[in-house]
Structure formats: structure tokens, C-alpha cells
A and B are shown apart, each in its own frame.
Chain A
Amino acid sequence: DIQMTQSPSSLSASVGDRVTITCQASQDINNYLNWYQQKPGKAPKLLIYDASNLETGVPSRFSGSGSGTDFTFTISSLQPEDIATYYCQQYDNLPPTFGGGTKVEFK
């Protein structure tokens, strides 16, 4: 199985801060990389697919980049409603595998 290493596992930031999360795959996954947001007690929500494509209805402050094995997820200006855990996920090979998650909290 492809291993997805996400960092940091948690971070604290203030409203308006730029937040960056990285995700590294154990092998080349081309651009078959998604980012999900999960709020406490809720199901995950797809934010970005294919490394950099914003899902319909997702605010433009969220973005993704990268290719091959190294990917980055960015929130350009953190908002109160962005407090959540974020997961990267590859789907190049079965089984689809997730990173360990990054919990974003307010400082």
C-alpha cells in the first residue's frame, strides 16, 4: 500500500493567518491526490481533487499544489469555520490511502 505522510499533525494559528500542510507519498502518485476537511463529529468533505482542483462550492482561500510525491495544501487566510482536521488521500493505487491528518486549531 502507498503510505501518505502528512505534516504537521497539528498546528495553531490565528484568524487571517496563512496555513500550510504538506503531504508526502511513498511513491509517485502522479496528481491523484485529494484533500478532505473533517469537522468534529461530522463526515469528511472533499475540498480539492487531483492535487489542485477546487471542488464546487469550496471557498477560494483553499488551494492545493504539487505533483509526484510531494504536495501542499494552503489556507490563505484562516477563518473561524476552518477549524477542523485535514486529510490528504491518494487514489493512484488501490487501496486509496489517507494521511494521518492535520488538526488545525486557534492559537
Chain B
Amino acid sequence: EVQLLESGGGLVQPGGSLRLSCAASGFTFSSSAMSWVRQAPGKGLEWVSVLSGSGGNIYYAGSVKGRFTISRDNSKNTLYLQMNSLRAEDTAVYYCAKDLLRWQKYGVVDCWGQGTLVTVSS
């Protein structure tokens, strides 16, 4: 069974940093593109970033580019999201997501974690 388990969320002050982790199991992690998708309270879904299985291809949403860094450790089957210079508008549930890389395109998510809440507030 495919499982994704996020951790690392919490309350942080504006301008602060936080690192999210996502432990994966039940599939060949090193062969899978992985994404982070977020959802602000009561709002819709926003794709944040994607990283290829090898780590060679990385893309970010414009709203987080330069502040967030996606990475992975294939030896630990773990995906990370380092979030710096956090703003109130980054407050959201952050989901770890397995990307199917369908037609060699990123964006088809066939498995989601349960999400971890990040709250940016003073």
C-alpha cells in the first residue's frame, strides 16, 4: 500500500523558517516524481513544487520561488520542503504528493499524504 506521511508543520513567526518532511512507503520512491501541494484554510488547492525521481528536475510556483527548496533523500525514501522567509499567506495545509509523470508531464497526482498544517503568525 502506498503511504505518504508528512511531518514538521507548526506555528512560525513571519520571516521564520520551517522544514517539512514526507516519509514514503509502498512504491519505488527513487523512480517517482514527488510534489508539494498546499491549501490555505477554506481555500482551493495550489501546487507548490515538484522534484523528479533523480532530483535532476525541479520546478517551483512563482509564489514560493527563491524562498522554498524541495529536496529528497532516496536512501531514506523521504521528501523535504525547506521553507524560508515565511509570510502569513504561506499559512496552509501542505500535502506531499506522488506524481505519475504521465506523458512525461508533471501534475497528475495519484497519491496524497494526510497533510501537515503550517501557520505563519506573530
Contact = CB atoms under 8 A, between A and B. Distances in A.
A46 B113 contact: no
A43 B87 CA distance: 24
Given A1-B62, A87-B44, A101-B44, A96 B110 contact: no
A94 B106 contact: yes
A59 B105 CA distance: 26
B61 A50 contact: no
A36 B109 CA distance: 9
22 contacts: A34-B107, A38-B45, A43-B112, A43-B113, A43-B114, A44-B45, A44-B109, A45-B112, A49-B102, A49-B108, A50-B102, A89-B107, A91-B102, A91-B106, A94-B59, A94-B107, A95-B47, A96-B106, A98-B44, A98-B45, A98-B46, A101-B44
Interface residues of B, number: 22
Interface of A: 1, 32, 34, 36, 38, 43-46, 49-50, 55, 87, 89-92, 94-101
